[in-house]
Amino acid sequence: MNTSSSSEVLVRIQGTPNPNAWKFILDRPVLNEGKATYADPQEAAQNRLASSLFDVPDVRQVHFFQNVITITHNFDADVDSLQKAVVSVIQTRMPMHNPDQTVRDEKKLARSNLPPEVQEIEEVLDRTIRPGLQGDGGDLTVIKLEDNKLYVHYEGACGTCPSSTTGTLMAIEGILKDELNKNLEVIPL
C-alpha cells in the first residue's frame, strides 16, 4: 500500500520474516537517533504516536528505528484492517511526532559504561547481526553477561518471530563463539 500527497506522510508497507509483524517505512524519520520498543500501552504513554498505535485493535508491540515503524500483531488479526488503521494513525500523528525523543524511550546504557567484554560483543553484533535484524524490522538488546552466558532480548518483529529462538539464535551464538569466546552461550529472555 502506498499513500501520498503533498501534505501526507508517504508510507510503504513491507512484510517481515515474522508472519505477525509488518514494517511501515516512512518518507521521514521516526527517530533521528537510536531505537525505541514499546511492549504495551503503558510504556508508550509518553509518546503520542506510539500510544495511538496501541489504540489499533490487535497491536501487540511497536518498534521505532530510523524511518521505520514495525508493528507486531495478534496472530488472528485482520491484516488488511490493521494495516489501514496503522497508516491512518501514522498520517494523523506523524506531523506532531518528535523524532528526537529517544533518551527516555531507548532504555539502554551508554556503551562506554559497559564492561570491555560486553563492549566487544556489542561491536560484533553491530557489525554482523544487527543490520539483518534491523532490515527485517527488529533488533536485539544485550541484557547481561554472566558466566559465559549472554542474555539477550529480541525487539520489534524479532520479538515474536519463530526463527529468533532457532536459526537466528544459533547464528548469533556461532558468530560470537567464532569471534570472541568458544564457550559463550546465548540465551533469549
Task: Dump pLDDT digits (tens) for 48-61.
Answer: 999 999 999 999 99
Same domain, residue pair 96 and 122: no
Give residues with Cβ within 8 angstroms of 140, minimum separation 6.
125, 129, 130, 133, 152, 153, 154, 155, 158, 172
Q: What is the dihedral of CA 25, 26, 32, 33, to 10 degrees?
A: -10
Asked if pLDDT for residue 106 goes beyond 60, the answer is no
Same domain, residue pair 121 and 96: no
From the CB of residue 173, how many other CB atoms can be counted at a distance below 10 Å? Answer: 16
Asked if pLDDT for residue 91 goes beyond 90, the answer is yes
pLDDT at res. 157: 77
Question: Is the CB of residue 158 less than 8 Å from the CB of residue 164?
Answer: yes
pLDDT at res. 104: 43
Asked if pLDDT for residue 135 goes beyond 80, the answer is no
**Mean pLDDT, the chain, integer:** 85
Least confident stretch, 121-125, 133-137, 171-175: 133-137
- Distances in Å between the Cα of 34 and the Cα atoms of 4, 68, 164 are 26, 12, 21
Q: State which of 106, 134, 159 marks the end of a domain.
A: 106
Q: For residues 175 and 126, give the distance between their C-alpha atoms in angstroms, rounded to a whole number.
A: 12
Mean pLDDT, to the nearest integer, of 169-184? 91
Q: Which domain holds residue 118?
A: 111-188
Same domain, residue pair 18 and 99: yes
Distance of alpha carbon 40 from the chain centroid: 14
Helices 116-128 and 167-179: crossing angle in degrees, nearest 10, is 120
pTM of the model: 0.71
Q: State which of 82, 106, 130 marks the end of a domain.
A: 106
* Residues recorded for the chain: 189
Same domain, residue pair 20 and 88: yes
Mean pLDDT, to the nearest integer, of 118-126? 89
Choice between 82 and 109, residue whose per-residue pLDDT is larger: 82
CATH value at residue 146:
3.30.300.130
Same domain, residue pair 165 and 181: yes
Same domain, residue pair 66 and 147: no
CATH value at residue 70:
3.30.1370.70
Cell digits of residue 105: 524511550
pLDDT at res. 102: 55
Same domain, residue pair 73 and 87: yes
Asked if pLDDT for residue 73 goes beyond 90, the answer is yes
pLDDT at res. 110: 58
Same domain, residue pair 87 and 138: no
Same domain, residue pair 45 and 101: yes
Choice between 182 and 136, residue whose per-residue pLDDT is larger: 182
Question: Is the CB of residue 46 less than 8 Å from the CB of residue 38?
Answer: no
pLDDT at res. 113: 75
Same domain, residue pair 119 and 86: no
pLDDT at res. 109: 44
pLDDT in tens, 12-66: 999 998 889 999 999 999 998 878 888 889 888 889 999 999 999 999 999 998 9
Mean pLDDT, to the nearest integer, of 131-155? 87
Same domain, residue pair 63 and 134: no
Same domain, residue pair 164 and 101: no
